[in-house]
Structure 1
């Protein structure tokens, strides 16, 4: 998810609630090809609705800048799709680029909504609820699944993918730097999200226990990133955002922290003749709700 932020006007204590991250959709989209590929792999496993059914109704939770939401309209041209996000910056770009009628007779809309509190209306069920690389920002998100499944029509699908690379050097080094003596007063705990994402088998058990037919898998992508300091450029669009937000308008601190993190990443990810390899593990789940009994 992409929550709005407030700049820190004073140095917060380590026990203060962390400010929510400010998001930069254009920075996020700098690696759009690599970021989109997992969603395409997820989308390929989502079943079509029954033949002759009314236009598909879809909720995209944590839609971000809308680029993957648009892929739903490519798959189901007459679908009625609503993207939800709690970042004004992301919603503005999504609305500017994609909102309105689609060429196939459907429609895309983008509205404010936070995954931590969003609940579908059971009186207006969705055929598909999907979430792409958002739930890792939501503590306790498995506890949301029962209500989301209740908001699906019989035979509907809930599908999501989340990163599971929090033990990678990119994240370990970031968390260690935040917790180091020089930064812990301002940044302790700002980069830790490892406990929020379950293992594939745990998602499978949970979804099956909720009465779904579930398909769960994981993949590690060996992403080949071009340019100088490409891993730093990648995390500037995601994992680094809460840290930069916590530093507020203190540009000197931002520059110092970023330089220290960059130097650590350079040692961990050595460039090769064709770019820098950045392994990235992701977990996928597609859960089908039972159809109505005839």
Structure 2
């Protein structure tokens, strides 16, 4: 995919940061010395780690130069590294690896989770949040518009950009096999947004990106027009004019025993 758009992503910074706050609250560490925020994006989640663990050395990792540029502006005293999580091989072990809204883009979760756990110190934690919204109207309609338009043959790979999240039982088994104690849960956030257009703006920087990247500029306009029509029907306006975006998210904190 083309590089991520940090500015577009940050249009909904408060809403996007809330799951990081909730995930961090469940991390059972009091004084970690080393933390890695993998898939750190523009540094909003990294900032939370710095604020909570003031004695820790915190690094951020991302594959996007644009996101890393924003992160370095936000936290100029920290180390940010450009790397691919799928092939990342750190030279040190960490007390905390924090992965907010990133592992859904990385394949082979059984192998990936075992590898990330191996990068933890004894007693260290892998804290993960992933969107679990592929069955929501927002994402089902992306697929519907992709299949019905003149671009259908070119968008067949777009839906495969995100890894399908395993069941609770799958995640539990993978992490248990990696030698962890597991705290596993799911939360559905409900975001009041300013109309159907705001839903499109939200997903332009995430879920829609694999589709839009494969289209010419004029095709993107047409795709988004069809998508907007479908979204407006699926998310009716409330009495105050806002629409309610339901957003399920999967969480777990795995502590290496």
Q: TM tier, shorter chain?
A: over 0.9
Match of 2:255 in 1: 288
Change (3 A) 1:272 1:36: same
Scaled by the length of structure 2, the TM-score of the pair is: 0.94
Scaled by the length of structure 1, the TM-score of the pair is: 0.83
How far did residue 21 of structure 1 move? Answer: 3.6
Match of 1:256 in 2: 222
Inter-partner Cα distance in structure 1 for 2:124 and 2:202 = 34
Change (3 A) 1:262 1:27: same
Match of 1:148 in 2: 116
Change (3 A) 1:201 1:255: same
Matched residue of 1:68: which SS?
helix
Q: Is the 8 A contact 2:96 2:126 kept in 1?
A: yes
> 5+ unaligned residues in a row in structure 1: which ranges?
1-19, 101-107
Q: How does 1:183-194 map to 2 (within 5 A)?
A: 183-192=151-160
**Of 76, 79, 83, which residue of structure 2 is paired with 1:99?**
76
Q: How many residues align?
A: 256
How far did residue 147 of structure 1 move? Answer: 2.1
How far did residue 170 of structure 1 move? Answer: 0.7
- CA offsets, 1:208-247, max 9 Å, x none? 2221111001111111112452211111121111222112
**Of 155, 166, 186, which residue of structure 2 is paired with 1:218?**
186
Deviates more, 1:196-205 or 1:35-44: 196-205
Match of 2:25 in 1: 44
Inter-partner Cα distance in structure 2 for 1:119 and 1:142 = 17
Change (3 A) 1:189 1:179: farther
Match of 1:15 in 2: none
> 5+ unaligned residues in a row in structure 2: which ranges?
none
How far did residue 189 of structure 1 move? Answer: 3.1
Q: Which structure's residues are more often helix, by fraction?
A: 2
**Of 36, 50, 54, which residue of structure 2 is paired with 1:77?**
54
RMSD over aligned CA atoms reads 1.6
Match of 1:236 in 2: 204
**Of 118, 124, 129, which residue of structure 1 is paired with 2:88?**
118
